Amino acid sequence: MTPYRLFDAIEYQLNKFPKSDMLTSKVNGEWKPNSTQQVKEIVNRFSAGLLRLGVAANDFSAENSDKIAIISGNRPEWLLTDMAVQQTGAILVPIYPTTNPIELQFILNDASVKYIFVSNKDLLDKVKSISSGVPSLKNIYTFDEIDGSDNYKTILDLADETALNEVEQIKQKIDWEHLATIIYTSGTTGTPKGVMLTHKNIVSNAFLSKESFPFEDAPQQKILSFLPLNHIFEKMVSYIYIFSGISIYYAEGMETIAENLKEIKPDGFCTVPRLLEKVFEKVMEKGRELTGIKKKLFFWSVRLGEKYDNNIDGGFWYNVQLQLANKIVFSKWREALGGNISFIVTGGAACQEKLLRIFNAAQIPVYEGYGPTENSPVISVNRKLPAGNTMYGTTGPPIDGIEVRLAEDGEICVKGPSVMKGYYKRPDLTEEVLIDGWLHTGDIGVWVNNKFLKITDRKKELFKTSGGKYVAPQPVENKLKESPYIEQVIVVGAEKKFVGALIVPSFSMIKKWYVENSLPYTSNEDAIKNPKVIQLFRDIVNSYNGFFNHVEQVKKFELLPKEWGIDTGEMTPKLSIKRKVIMEKFRNEIDKIYS
């Protein structure tokens, strides 16, 4: 593998497939493209300006190189900053826009951040509110034009010929073992840890994923980017796109994804299961609003989709029916996604197998993958090609070029060029997870057909009942979420006599249930206390209990009146549930289950 540095992606694209729309975003209601040549010029000037500000790699070590932070939504400036910082030998510290002020201050101090780039006024105010407690911070720069703040373009204006030449000299000294970024985990298990990733880690993962999936060189293709670039998954695939000549278009925000898909008509995108669930819920809501033959055809098509298996031919009659369903029902789903989708990659959490079957039956190819930040991140992924390398309910075969093994307790361990350098300033934690070159992921898995990796749970989330039996909550939760009446759920029961659950109902479905039963709806709080609603959920839970053994079955539950979210602290920015936070926050409700 060629030892590219991440910033080499610009020259690579310029030489192989120069584009007019390398990075594109909406500015004042119009899509504004940045060509490959423009990106190269901006990044070089940006790097030169940073040098003029005194940004330096010093001895190129993690400790002595300057750290530059970024806290921003997805936009071209994010990658421009990333590559500009890399070219100086400094280290980028990306931070989620939703990070709370306490964690933000911790990260900036832990990394001794020198400068920080923010996208808008709200984030500027957040950083300003804690900046007095960060002695290393020299200045805050904004991407938006904001009165009274320093815009990042003022740094580009500092570039001169001498500094530009110096950038080229520094680039020659940066090898692919050099630290490119420190990514702090979201802190679901305590204080955030800084994952140190080198150019080699991320570039090797990008190329091994590109070859394994495979991503062809496709300068005619474009994708929509909306998963936070602060997460290694979206950042790494961004470099796959650049090295493949695929144009990147940035969604205006999470709330405009549907509109942007129709405008751009992309070939693909990356997502997380929670967003796919939201898409499916909206589709099903529209289906329930239909009447007569249209409604019957809609749900007939969905039932066909639930039976779909890409590895088993459903037979002549099934295939004819599915073809008809695709023509009269699923074609509208594809149109809503822009009409050109050839791949959707989902990761970050387990995806419901039911969703994978239905979307793929609808000719909307969704491929599940898996990997932690510590592996840059991809370990395994279901494949576009060749046939037979996708199995629903698994995260696919390991990508080429890495080794994967299961420990005696089922923990997934990985070895290869994409395994992190370690945790920043935490050799104690590094020694716990990096043993003889093997990264111990903390995830429990099994092999299916000696080929496909299936994640069964987080090692730390497995719990033992008071009867001494182990329970893996994730499979139970995923099954319960198949019900249209269940929005969110976590399974509890550590050291208890039986398994219980906290359930957030789908209140849009509950309201419809009220209408169907001629009942007046007052509030979510009243609904979850209604004996008839409680019985409804008792019946739903009992219907799914049949899929699990006696120990795993949910015996009692509590309904909650409000959806868990990022702003309220129960979910991470990548929409994973913070189990410990929820269990602490709803301790009284859990106590009621076992009272």
Tens-binned pLDDT, residue by residue, of the chain (595 aa)? 889 999 999 999 999 999 999 999 999 999 999 999 999 999 999 999 999 999 998 888 888 899 999 999 999 999 999 999 999 999 999 999 988 899 999 999 999 999 999 999 999 999 999 999 999 999 999 999 999 999 999 999 999 999 999 999 999 999 999 999 999 986 444 688 999 999 999 999 999 999 999 899 999 999 999 999 999 999 999 999 999 999 999 999 989 999 999 999 999 999 999 899 889 999 999 999 999 999 999 999 999 999 999 999 999 999 999 999 999 999 999 999 999 999 999 998 889 999 999 999 999 999 999 999 999 999 999 999 888 899 999 999 999 999 999 999 999 999 999 999 999 999 999 999 999 999 999 999 999 999 999 998 888 888 888 888 889 898 899 999 999 999 999 999 998 999 999 999 999 999 999 999 999 999 999 999 999 999 999 999 999 999 998 999 999 999 999 999 988 989 888 788 889 899 999 999 999 999 8
Sheet with 554-559, side-by-side order of all strands: 486-492, 499-505, 554-559
pLDDT at residue 188, rounded to an integer: 44
Measure the CA–CA gap between 298 and 320, rounded to whole angstroms. 16
Q: Which residues contact 589 (CB under 8 A, 6 or more apart)?
A: 502, 558, 560
Three-state SS for 6-37 is CCHHHHHHHHHCCCCCCEEEEECCEEEEECHH
Tell me the domains of the chain and their CATH numbers.
Answer: 8-174+213-263 (3.40.50.12780), 269-458 (3.40.50.12780), 463-593 (3.30.300.30)
* Beta-bridge mates of residue 505: 486
Measure the CA–CA gap between 331 and 313, rounded to whole angstroms. 21
pLDDT at residue 469, rounded to an integer: 83
Measure the CA–CA gap between 421 and 407, rounded to whole angstroms. 22
pLDDT at residue 190, rounded to an integer: 61
User: Count of residues for the chain?
Assistant: 595
pLDDT at residue 350, rounded to an integer: 84
pLDDT at residue 61, rounded to an integer: 86
Report whether 67 contacts 112 (CB < 8 A): yes
pTM score of the predicted model = 0.87
**CA 143 → CA 31, 38, 338, 369, 426, distances in Å?**
17, 17, 29, 33, 33
**CA 591 → CA 208, 500, 561, 580, distances in Å?**
48, 10, 17, 15
Cβ burial of 534 (10 Å; 0-12, 13-18, 19+) is middle
